[in-house]
Amino acid sequence: NAGVTQTPKFQVLKTGQSMTLQCAQDMNHNSMYWYRQDPGMGLRLIYYSASEGTTDKGEVPNGYNVSRLNKREFSLRLESAAPSQTSVYFCASIGVGDRGLYEQYFGPGTRLTVT
């Protein structure tokens, strides 16, 4: 049981380049999330998917798109990267895990730098 996995771990992009951050969970959770984490600002929700086939905007969706490919996978795409998108990105899913608790499980993060 790997939990929530994210690829890549690190990425450097030039302004205007595009890329897709991948996320997968093996806990059979319905809901998945993408957050960005910036110093002094905590975690801010970009997009979320309450269930397979649905996606909704969070607090900071501009400049991003998402795809809920299936129940396991939820990807985040930057079509034209900007320096303001330099951040650490976390994917999460929510549901009951090994501890029997209903909680949000986070992946290890992707550190993205846009130059």
> With respect to other proteins, which residue has the nearer C-beta, 74 or 90?
90
**Burial category of 25 from C-beta neighbours within 10 Å (exposed 0-12, middle 13-18, buried 19 and up):** buried
- 100 sits near other proteins (criterion: CB under 8 A): no
What is residue 102's three-state secondary structure? Answer: strand
By CB under 8 A, what part of segment 26-85 binds other proteins?
Answer: 31, 33, 40-45, 48, 50, 58-59
> With respect to other proteins, which residue has the nearer C-beta, 36 or 114?
36
Residue type, 91: C
> With respect to other proteins, which residue has the nearer C-beta, 47 or 114?
47
Site of interaction with other proteins (CB under 8 A): 4, 31, 33, 40-45, 48, 50, 58-59, 90, 92, 94, 101, 103-104, 106-109
